[in-house]
Amino acid sequence: MSKRRFFFIVFEGIEGTGKSYQINKLTQSLKKNKISVVKTREPGGSVSAEKIRKLIFDKQSNKFHKLTDFYLMLASRNEHIQNTILKAKEKKQVIISDRFIDSTFAYQVIGNKIDKNINHLNQKYILNGLKPNMTIVLKSNLRNIYLRIKKRKQKNKFDKLKSTFYRKAQNAFIKLAKNKKDYYIFDSSQNTPDLEKKLLKLVLSKLK
The model's pLDDT over 56-100, given as tens digits with 9 standing for 90+, comes to 998 777 788 999 999 999 999 999 999 999 999 999 999 999 999
pLDDT of 161: 76
Residue 183 three-state SS: strand
- At the top level of CATH, which class does the domain 7-207 belong to? alpha beta
DSSP 4-25: ---EEEEEE--TTS-HHHHHHH
- Residue 33 predicted with pLDDT over 90: yes
- Residue 177 predicted with pLDDT over 70: yes
pLDDT of 125: 96
pLDDT of 2: 56
How many angstroms separate the CA atoms of 85 and 81, rounded? 5
pLDDT category of residue 144 using cuts at 50, 70 and 90: confident
How many angstroms separate the CA atoms of 189 and 192, rounded? 9
pLDDT of 109: 96
How many angstroms separate the CA atoms of 32 and 28, rounded? 6
Query: Stretch 174-199: mean pLDDT, rounded?
Result: 92
Rg of the chain over CA atoms, in angstroms?
17
Q: What is the mean pLDDT of the chain?
A: 92
- Residue 24 predicted with pLDDT over 70: yes
All structural domains of the chain with their residue ranges? 7-207
